[in-house]
């Protein structure tokens, strides 16, 4: 096939795609207009029903809690799969990141990077913890909090402390925390079933004040477990990647 | 039912609608420019840095479209975690290429 023919096929396909796309766009509601009833219904009942002012969290962890279990386990399986694929194979050995004789092409982190990492690590931990524990009150939640929490560990790595990164997040512990987070979420749902209630039914006392940290029953608890699982999963994934940069295959130098 | 009855938390400040429209259009254009830049930059390391900036742009865009939850996720995943994974992969590939 000549490049000319290929271009014609491409242009014909593009024209078809553009036609369908524009046709589809015509059926969309106007910018900023929301036609469906469900969002309005949730907006009007969620706060009174769940005592959570973070309505997005109420949807994620209660009204659509079952979907979130699935999403949680997608991340869990992804991290596990990564750990399996990137395990150390026969004939691979790890190099010492501080070995000055190795052809360590990466220069040490500059003082500026180390200073920024040092300044931010503490506040990032506080921020992550705050987000993961305030899903019920404000726009946040376990996922956001967990990723922010994991970022604190990445800062330690970025400041050049590869060994310290490994010491504060040993693989066994990280895997255990990840399993605890994923299992905790599922267990909250199963415990409701054990009491004869529907799966993931919010059976804990909701509290009386909407927006109080202690309110919203299982929503806050689930958010906490999601935070654990997400933080551990991200640390595990990045940790595996960091280990890969240190691995030397036989035959490589 | 008016929107005032629906909202449980009243925000203490509001941005005039006209200004908000300008902000949203500007951010949409910036995101489009950022995405184009990510595709056009050919050097992988520069591309990853641009991808990180694109993540920040997207995060601000989500904030302007009243989705602060998504902003937080995009900021950490799109601007930090994803570029970091790609940089680590690049470091590994370069080592083997030597």
C-beta separation of B73 from B42 below 8 A: no
Q: How many residues are given for chain B?
A: 98
Half-sphere exposure of A23 (CA within 13 A, CB side): 6
User: Is the pLDDT score of A253 beyond 80?
Assistant: no
Tell me whether A55 touches chain B (CB under 8 Å): yes
Measured between beta carbons, the chain B residues lying within 8 angstroms of A131 are 72
Confidence label for B7 from pLDDT (cuts 50, 70 and 90): very low
- 3-class secondary structure per residue, chain B: CCHHHHCCCCCCCCCCHHHHHHHHHHHHHHHHHHHHHHHHCCCHHHHHHHHHHHHHHHHHHHHHCCCHHHHHHHHHHHHHHHHHHHHHHHHHHHHHHC
Rounded distance, CA B75 to CA B62, Å?
A: 10
Assigned token pair, B34: 């950022």
Tell me whether A44 touches chain B (CB under 8 Å): yes
Domain residue spans of chain A:
36-249
C-beta separation of A182 from A189 below 8 A: no
Rounded distance, CA A126 to CA A91, Å?
A: 42
Select the residue of A103, A140, A154 nearest B80 (Cβ to Cβ): A154
pLDDT over 90, % of chain A: 33
Decide if A238 and B84 are in contact by the 8 Å CB cutoff: yes
pTM: 0.82
Question: A151-180: per-residue pLDDT in tens?
Answer: 898 888 888 777 788 888 888 899 899 999
How many CB pairs below 8 A link A and B?
68
C-beta separation of A222 from A131 below 8 A: no
ipTM of the complex: 0.77
Question: Which H/E stretch holds residue A94?
Answer: strand A92-94
In chain B, the N- to C-terminal Cα span, in Å, equals 67
Select the residue of B8, B77, B85 nearest A241 (Cβ to Cβ): B85
Measured between beta carbons, the chain B residues lying within 8 angstroms of A56 are 69
Question: A100-152: per-residue pLDDT in tens?
Answer: 555 555 567 788 888 998 899 999 999 999 999 888 888 888 899 999 999 89
Rounded distance, CA A150 to CA B13, Å?
A: 32
């Amino acid at each position: 096939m000549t490049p000319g023919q290929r271009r014609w096929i491409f242009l014909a396909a593009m024209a078809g795609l553009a036609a369908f796309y524009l046709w589809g766009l015509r059926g969309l509601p106007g910018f900023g207009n929301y036609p469906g009833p469900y969002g309005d219904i949730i907006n009007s009942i969620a706060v009174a029903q769940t005592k959570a002012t973070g309505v997005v969290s109420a949807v994620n962890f209660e009204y659509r809690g079952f979907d979130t279990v699935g999403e949680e386990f997608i991340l869990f399986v992804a991290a596990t799969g990564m750990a399996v694929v990137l395990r150390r194979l026969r004939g691979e050995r790890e190099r010492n990141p501080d070995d000055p004789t190795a052809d360590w092409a990466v220069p040490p982190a500059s003082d500026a990077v180390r200073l920024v990492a040092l300044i931010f690590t503490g506040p990032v931990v506080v921020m992550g913890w705050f987000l993961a524990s305030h899903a019920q009150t404000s726009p946040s939640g376990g996922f956001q909090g967990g990723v922010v929490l994991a970022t604190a560990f990445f800062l330690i790595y970025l400041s050049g402390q590869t060994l310290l990164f490994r010491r504060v997040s040993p693989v066994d512990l990280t895997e255990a925390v990840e399993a605890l987070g994923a299992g905790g979420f599922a267990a909250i749902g199963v415990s409701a079933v054990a009491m004869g209630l529907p799966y993931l039914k919010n059976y804990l006392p909701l509290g009386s004040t909407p927006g109080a940290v202690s309110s919203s029953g299982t929503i806050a608890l689930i958010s906490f477990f999601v935070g654990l699982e997400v933080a551990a999963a991200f640390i595990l994934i990045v940790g595996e990647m960091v280990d890969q940069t240190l691995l030397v295959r036989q035959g490589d130098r | 039912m008016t929107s005032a009855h629906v909202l449980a938390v009243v925000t203490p400040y509001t941005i005039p609608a006209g200004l908000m429209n300008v902000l949203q259009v500007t951010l949409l254009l910036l995101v489009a420019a950022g995405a184009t830049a990510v595709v056009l930059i050919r050097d992988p390391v520069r591309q990853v840095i641009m991808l990180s900036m694109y993540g920040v742009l997207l995060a601000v865009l989500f904030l302007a479209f009243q989705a602060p939850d998504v902003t937080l996720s995009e900021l950490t995943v799109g601007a930090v975690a994803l570029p970091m994974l790609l940089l680590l992969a690049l470091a590994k590939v370069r080592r083997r290429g030597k």
